Amino acid sequence: MTTTARPQEREFDERYRAIAARDTRFDGQFFTAVRSTGIYCRPSCPARTPKPENVTFYLTSAAAHEAGYRACKRCLPEAAPGTPAWDLRHDLAGRAMRLIADGVVDREGTDGLAARLGYSARHVHRLLAAELGAGPLALARAQRAQTARSLVVGTDLPLADVAFAAGFGSIRQFNDTMTEVFAVAPSELRARARRRPPAFQQAIRRADGPGAATDRLVEGGSVGDVARVRLDLELPVREPFDARGVVAFLAARAVDGVEVADLAGDDVRYARTLLLPHGPGAAEVLAGPGVGPGRVAVRLELASAADVSVAVARLRRLLDLDADPVAVDTALADDPSLAPLVARTPGLRLPGTVDPHEIVVRAIVGQQISVAAARTHLGRLAAGAGTPFSSAVPGLTRLFPTAAQVAASAADHLRLPARSVATVVDTARALDDGTLAVGVGDDGDSLRAALVARRGIGPWTAAYVAMRVLRDPDSWLDGDVALLAGAAAAGVDLGLPDDGETTPTRAARSRALSARAERWAPWRSYAALHLWRAALPPTMQ
């Protein structure tokens, strides 16, 4: 007689096998708490595998904190990449985690989080505690501890500044939390860290020559007569990571003055201006052999240290650093048509955004025109309506215009058909006055419906916004011409009759490709990126 294991038992067995194998792919996706030691670890912790009876698994480090465990000093679980589950999950817990990562609890409290989600604060707390093992305050506290740890060991920022940069309300709260979570005072944590020059400085020094790292940007100095906080950080990422591909995607769409990119060397660079809760700033990211595997180097230039965690969270979303590339690649490679594309570009990433309103404007402007044409129009809009910005990064001169600025100035700067300009202006005005709400915590179906309900916005635009803003891994852009071209280049069989005399219409091929794409769920967004790349000339792939 055979018995079937219950789902909870199967889940425990799968996770236990992962920690026994020290599988780095699961780092950040769950945490292992060990009753006999009172610590929690990442799955790949090199310590001896604990006995199953001593193990409890948690989805978040906050849940482990709440249960009385402290972080392992050997594997540093807080330094692991985040979990991709919050993008895969379309439920309330997933939406809440995206908002908490963006600092909503720190800025607006639990009532603000609940209001954005459309539920009472009590219901949100109850659901998160049941689903994730910790309420919103505990989850935000864990994020503050993670940010603080990275600043303590990775920068020379004074510890008092670290406390406020990480979002703590007081130095005492910072010291108490760090001691409770890591079982060591912040000063001792910094003293124990094996310091080395940040990867960003090392890579730039190799590329630009001795002294370049300090000449380009001096921490705590000023740019354009405006004092700013400047930090070099390293962000963890799961391998494989197609850094060149994600930067190439952003470079092709880079708006002059707002973004710059460099794909010429072994290391790829991308930089852009940012509008953050406490003021404007800029970020420059560097990835490649000079930085090393499993990490991305970041240089931040901020109006306030309080924006560090928000800037990092938004950059992680922009570069899709929390994705599980092995899961995506394995699923898509099962299709013989996609397998060669996956083999050619392992670890492909789905670019997100640092500003949801910006993506809405970009998507509307880009409807039914080429990427290059959209970039020209957006560059003209940014030059005419965007706020000037002075940065140490060459080429960054402007902020992308806010919704209010677009509503006021788009008609003067966009040389598009009148109907298209009217759609941009009307939508920007709705974003500005709150009639249309677009944010990382939105429900995907509701967001698409709200966009399609507006005059001049179709399903393609709504799907693209969901893909970039929510980083929906399963968004499909029905009718996209480039997807048809990529499918043809990749030899995807659409199952259409071919008698050698009649050619199926584009509409028929689009319907067939959409039906074919259903087998790529829940990773259709990544499949679309592979097909887009396949449609490019060989020199650009």
Residues recognised as catalytic:
41, 480
Mark 160-178 as b/e (b = at least 16 C-beta within 10 Å).
ebbbbbbbbeeeeebbebb
How far from the centroid of its chain's Cα atoms is residue 330's Cα? 21
Which residues sit opposite 276 in a β-bridge?
279
How far from the centroid of its chain's Cα atoms is residue 68's Cα? 30
Count of all residues that appear for the chain in the document: 541
The full DSSP string for 113-157 is HHHHHTS-HHHHHHHHHHHHSS-HHHHHHHHHHHHHHHHHHH---
The CA distances from residue 177 to 169, 211, 316, 419, in Å, are 11, 38, 24, 55
Listed as own residue / partner, the contacts of 108-115 with beta carbons closer than 8 Å and 24 or more positions apart are: 110/135, 110/136, 110/137
Is there a contact between 30 and 43 (Cβ–Cβ < 8 Å)? yes
Whole-number Å distance between alpha carbons of 456 and 419: 7
Whole-number Å distance between alpha carbons of 83 and 458: 32
Whole-number Å distance between alpha carbons of 537 and 295: 30
HSE-up (13 A, CA, CB side) for residue 51:
5
- Beta strand 222-223 with 279-287 is unpaired
- Beta strand 279-287 with 268-276 is antiparallel
Nearest of 151, 148, 155, 162 to residue 197 by alpha carbon: 155
Mark 385-404 as b/e (b = at least 16 C-beta within 10 Å).
bbeebebbbeebbbbbbbbe
Q: In which element (H, E) is residue 100 found?
A: helix 92-101
